[in-house]
Amino acid sequence: MLDSSEVASTTSEGVFIGLDWGNSQHQLCILDPAGRLIHQGRFAHDVAGLGDLDKRLHAHGRVAGVAIERAEGLLVERLQQQGHRLFCVSPKMSARARERYRLAPTKSDAVDAFVLADSLRHEHRHWRSLAVPSPLLAELRALTRDRERLIWNQRDVENQLRAIVEVYHPAVLHLFSSLDRDISLAFLRDYPTPAQAGRVGTLRMTAFCSRHGYSGRTRAELPIQRLRANLLTASEGTSRGKASPH
């Protein structure tokens, strides 16, 4: 049984927060020091949603800590800027903790957020909170994330373009070293159909490469050979496809 000083110490700890991360929305769970549910809800990953989260956290007094499964990102940085102590809980640890509760037969965001909050309530004295990065480090992390997103977007767009070119104009894929090179994209802009590309001869290819400042360390005859071979293959494949009743 707790004596009066222990009760006062427990009450003064503040509320415990569990945040289940989502792509567009996050699940929030707030527990008091005794484990009673104070609030549970969802907020959007946008300016309005993060503003609602700030108001919700400030509405319940002191926050003892926030348990979350990610150690970086806009939400993490914002919470740290607000002065909250964050505890990163690995997905494996969350899965093991979820087995102890068995609050629902299937996985749900609400259950996950509750498990994070209650695990933090029991174990926070044994956990180490995330270090708060310096402003310079936070800026570098943000720039790195932006660069990664740009690379992912570039790959997605290239894969979409490749899928289209493979069906309608596959010869372009064999002309130069890769589809994402400026010279490959320039060829697609200048000769967007197999019929137009079929009229390209050595002189026109030489002029094209010169116009776009491309040497490729090879004579124009080699791209022309590749073009001719693959235009023929593409034409045969297209003819067979059109002739097929399916």
Look at residue 241 and tell me whether its pLDDT is greater than 50. Answer: no
pLDDT of the residue at 186: 93
Domain identity same for 128 and 173: no
Task: Please report, for the chain, how many H helices and E strands are present, in that order.
Answer: 10, 5
Look at residue 21 and tell me whether its pLDDT is greater than 90. Answer: no
Look at residue 81 and tell me whether its pLDDT is greater than 70. Answer: yes
Q: Which residue has the higher pLDDT, 4 or 71?
A: 71
Look at residue 31 and tell me whether its pLDDT is greater than 80. Answer: yes
Domain identity same for 116 and 174: no
In a domain, 234, yes or no: yes
End-to-end CA distance of the chain: 78
Domain of 215, in residue numbers: 169-243
Residue 50 sits in a domain of what CATH number?
Answer: 3.30.420.40
Query: Rounded mean pLDDT of 20-24?
Result: 85
* H-type alpha helices, 124-199: 135-168, 182-190, 194-197
Contact criterion met (CB below 8 Å) for 67 and 76: no
Q: How far apart are CA 43 and CA 20, in angstroms?
A: 11
Q: How far apart are CA 236 and CA 245, in angstroms?
A: 16
What pLDDT band is residue 243 in, cutting at 50, 70 and 90? very low
In a domain, 57, yes or no: yes
- Phi, psi (deg, nearest 5) at residue 151: -65, -45
Q: How far apart are CA 246 and CA 48, in angstroms?
A: 51
Domain identity same for 193 and 119: no
Beta strands in 6-68 (DSSP E): 15-20, 25-31, 37-44, 63-68
In a domain, 140, yes or no: no
Looking at the chain, the whole-number percentage of residues with pLDDT higher than 90 is: 24
Averaged pLDDT of the chain: 81
Residue that is last in its domain, among 72, 105, 132: 132
Q: How far apart are CA 181 and CA 163, in angstroms?
A: 16
Q: What is the number of structural domains in the chain?
A: 2
Query: Rounded mean pLDDT of 17-25?
Result: 88
Dump pLDDT digits (tens) for 116-137.
999 899 888 888 888 887 778 7
Long-range CB pairs of 91-97, under 8 A, 24+ apart, other chains included? 93/119, 94/69, 94/119
